[in-house]
Amino acid sequence: MENTLGPDNAIWDDGEWVSWDEINQQIQYKEWRARYPNADLSLVSVFESLIGTAEEYYHLTGRHLQVYGDIGELYGAITHGIKLHRNYAKGSDGRLGNDFVEVKTITPFKNCDVVEINLERNFSKILIVKINADFEVRGKLIDRKALPNGKGRGNRLRIDWSLVEA
């Protein structure tokens, strides 16, 4: 069966048929552009699918998928325009202009909203991404210069989400 456009699945506009799917996609892209002005829109659908899949899996099984770090990095890419490095690259997770960015994600199952940062890594900004129990995602981008000096083992710093200004 041929999938032709016509009055049952499209509208006539400016001398051609335009499918409802194409119209709905354009509406979706406008909504995403308003919500994520710096985003590569092709990544937004991946991000939303991944967070939706993680949430659905949790509600079905009571267990969490191991995808929250990737969700945090995608969030940084779409909200701040971070260009992500290849997987397992040493030093940082991506670039934002001339700055190297480290992304730390607080997962919905974590008991406290604290991240640990290795200050020996090569980064000039850190993005802390929090995914709450309702699978809502927020982030805070911080300049390394604004961080206190590391204390404790191995030049590590613990940062509490509630103490970081957005």
Residue type, 103: V
State pLDDT tens for residues 66-123: 999 999 999 999 999 999 998 877 778 999 999 999 999 999 999 899 999 988 888 9
- Give CA torsion, residues 64, 66, 71, 74, to 10 deg: -160
Decide if 54 contacts 96 (C-beta within 8 A).
no
- pLDDT class for 128, splitting at 50, 70, 90? very high
pLDDT for the residue numbered 1: 43
Kindly report the pTM of this predicted structure.
0.81
Q: From the centroid of its chain, how far is CA 15? A: 40
